[in-house]
Amino acid sequence: MSAHPPDGDLPSVVLSVAGLCKSYSHVVAVHEVSFDVHRREVVGLLGPNGAGKTTTINMILGVLSPTAGSVRIGGIDLARERARALAGANFSAVYAPLPGNLTVTENLRFFGLVYGIPRLGDRVGELLRQFDLERLRDTKCGLLSSGEQTRVALAKAVLNRPRLLLLDEPTASLDPAAAQTVRARIRGLAVEGGCGILWTSHNMYEVEEVCDRVLFLSRGRILLEGDPRRLPREHGAATLEELFIRLAREPLAEPLERAG
Amino acid sequence: MRIKPVAGILLRQFYLIRGSPVRSLPMFAWVAIDIVVWGFITRYLNSMAAGRFNYVPSLLGAVLMWDFFARIMQGVSTAFLEDVWSRNFLNLFATPLTISEYILGLVITSVATSMVGLAVMLVLAMAVFGLSFFSLGTLLVPFLLVLFAFGIALGILASALVLRLGPASEWLVWPLPALLSPFVGVFYPLATLPRWMQGVGHLLPPSYVFEGMRQALAGRPFSAAGLALGAALAALDILLAGYLFARVFRYAIRTGLLARYSAESAA
């Protein structure tokens, strides 16, 4: 688990989610979810399909309003000061590709203006170098390979040097080599860039490699939380994947009794 | 309201138009064809009238102004639809961008693209078919402003409809200007219409523009109060359309429509 040393006046907690609920008529998608993400920390949000991970991320991004609860980004209440709160966050998700009819540079300049980035030209140049995109700068994003699109999406996701970075399955469509490179870059963003990262993935190997802490979500509730390298042993499982499968199949009423 | 996010919306549309003749051509091609067709029709009608009546200002001028209005409306809705077509809502609205900044960006885009169409129409109509707006004088400015304002309102309304009803509903919003045209008397006085259609026409700002234009061209006393009412209605329509868009946006955030917005989920 990473320590959270104070950096100047910046708050240590970059994301604070409290009592978050989302219901659609009679269906409860997310129920009483609460957690924090700290600076330099990578938190894995794990769970089976339909567990409520993307719903939770959408509520943190302000594109879905919660039925109850609150989201604070860098101490700023999202419901009260949406624009100011979102100025400190960014995201990347496989289901939200950047406009394919704009080139890499055009996309970065467009989103850079939307985020109000100062000295945008310099920042875009810096990101093109950092994410090895200079060769592709004038290529339309729709023509890029999955790996290249992921790199562009990550470059966009760090344009505003976010305090909070949300990554929904960032390596889902990548080959193992490309996925390893992306994981290293993201880990670097947390360690060197100082942001807090909330990461969803179905790849337990990468979760163990990257995440400082994981939250297991099932049927909209957090069942378990802890260090991904210690949790399996603590709950009688050989691997994180085995623990994941067991929790995904647990009846919701008694999630940890047998596991403990 | 911040300038940079508005500039971002504008820049995105500029990139799209710059990189695609398919987008730049319609800015002037269809309105130019309209002017050519109606230009020859008015020429033919003038030859039939044998100098008793000049159809150029009343018909060709009306076509020009109506096309300008339709271009403004379509300029707003097309800029919005670019985000629908590229499924960009999640990327866009997970940023600090506010609704008012977004709409202002769409409106400025529409102004820029419509001005190209207006310039082409004016050059063609004046140079080839002898249209002159000298008889309207400075009245041309408020006439165009009222049409401009109502075009903006209708464009925002169309965008709200597409956001609420899904991408497939774009086919409902394209014909909106054509749907309104019988009620606003583009080519004939409102008095020609049945009473119920006149009632609808009096609620629509373009009616006051076209009535006023005919009065001014015929040298009859011009109703400044009528045009002022048209301007007030257009301003009210912009406020109502903006309010409706904001409400639909809040609905889309509450129900998850925005997060799941695509042709499959929302249609």
> What value of ipTM does the predicted structure carry?
0.86
Min distance A146 CA to chain B CA atoms (Å)? 17
Report the chain B residue with the minimal C-alpha distance to residue A58. Answer: B259
| Contact (CB<8Å) A114/B98 | no
| Contact (CB<8Å) B91/A65 | no
Higher pLDDT, B131 or B8: B8
CB A116 within 8 A of CB B5: yes
Integer Cα distance of A66 and A64 in angstroms: 6
Q: Mean pLDDT in chain A?
A: 88
Of B85-89, B105-109, B155-159, where does mean pLDDT reach its minimum? B85-89
| Contact (CB<8Å) A86/B98 | no
Min distance B166 CA to chain A CA atoms (Å)? 17
Report the chain B residue with the minimal C-alpha distance to residue A99. Answer: B86
Exposure string over A186-203, b if 16+ CB within 10 A, otherwise e: bbebbeebebbbbbbbbb
Determine the pLDDT at residue A18: 96
Which residues, including other chains, have CB under 8 Å from residue A72's CB and lie 6 or more apart? Answer: A13, A15, A16, A17, A18, A78, A85
Q: Mean pLDDT in chain B?
A: 89
3-class secondary structure, A70: strand
Q: How many residues does chain B have?
A: 267
Determine the pLDDT at residue B58: 80
Determine the pLDDT at residue A251: 62
Asked whether residue A256 carries a pLDDT value surpassing 50, the answer given is: no
Mean pLDDT of B27-45: 88
Residues of A in contact with B16 (CB under 8 A): 101-102
Determine the pLDDT at residue B167: 86
Chain B residues bordering chain A (beta-carbon distance below 8 Å) = 2, 4-5, 7-9, 11-12, 15-16, 19-20, 86-98, 250, 253-256, 258-259
Of A241-255, B24-38, B244-258, where does mean pLDDT reach its minimum? A241-255
Hey, which bits of chain A come out as E strands?
13-24, 27-38, 42-46, 68-73, 76-77, 89-93, 164-168, 196-200, 213-218, 221-226
Integer Cα distance of A245 and A223 in angstroms: 13
Higher pLDDT, A11 or B133: B133
Determine the pLDDT at residue B27: 84
Determine the pLDDT at residue A82: 94
What is the separation, in whole angstroms, between the first and last Cα of chain B?
A: 32
Asked whether residue A96 carries a pLDDT value surpassing 80, the answer given is: yes
Give the one of A63, A99, A116 whose C-beta lies nearest to B94's C-beta.
A63
Q: pLDDT digits over B170-205, tens only?
A: 888 889 999 999 999 999 999 999 999 999 999 999
Q: What DSSP character marks residue A163?
A: S
Determine the pLDDT at residue A254: 46
3-class secondary structure, A23: strand
Asked whether residue B69 carries a pLDDT value surpassing 90, the answer given is: yes
Determine the pLDDT at residue A136: 95
Min distance B16 CA to chain A CA atoms (Å)? 7
CA B138 to chain centroid: 21
Give B263's pLDDT tier (boundaries 50, 70, 90): very low
pTM of the model: 0.88
Asked whether residue B264 carries a pLDDT value surpassing 80, the answer given is: no
| Contact (CB<8Å) A110/B12 | yes
Residues of A in contact with B94 (CB under 8 A): 61-63, 86, 89-91
Q: pLDDT digits over A103-162, tens only?
A: 999 999 999 999 999 999 999 999 999 888 999 999 999 999 988 998 999 999 999 999
| Contact (CB<8Å) B94/A86 | yes
Q: Please give the backbone phi and psi of residue B98, each rounded to the nearest 5 degrees, phi first.
A: -95, 165
Determine the pLDDT at residue B135: 66
Asked whether residue B266 carries a pLDDT value surpassing 90, the answer given is: no
The strand pair at A89-93 and A42-46 is best described as: unpaired
Asked whether residue B55 carries a pLDDT value surpassing 70, the answer given is: yes
Determine the pLDDT at residue B52: 78
Mean pLDDT of B8-19: 92
Asked whether residue A207 carries a pLDDT value surpassing 70, the answer given is: yes
Q: What percent of chain B has pLDDT over 70?
A: 97
Min distance A116 CA to chain B CA atoms (Å)? 6
Min distance B267 CA to chain A CA atoms (Å)? 18
Asked whether residue A36 carries a pLDDT value surpassing 60, the answer given is: yes
Determine the pLDDT at residue B262: 53
Residues of B in contact with A90 (CB under 8 A): 94
CA B175 to chain centroid: 12
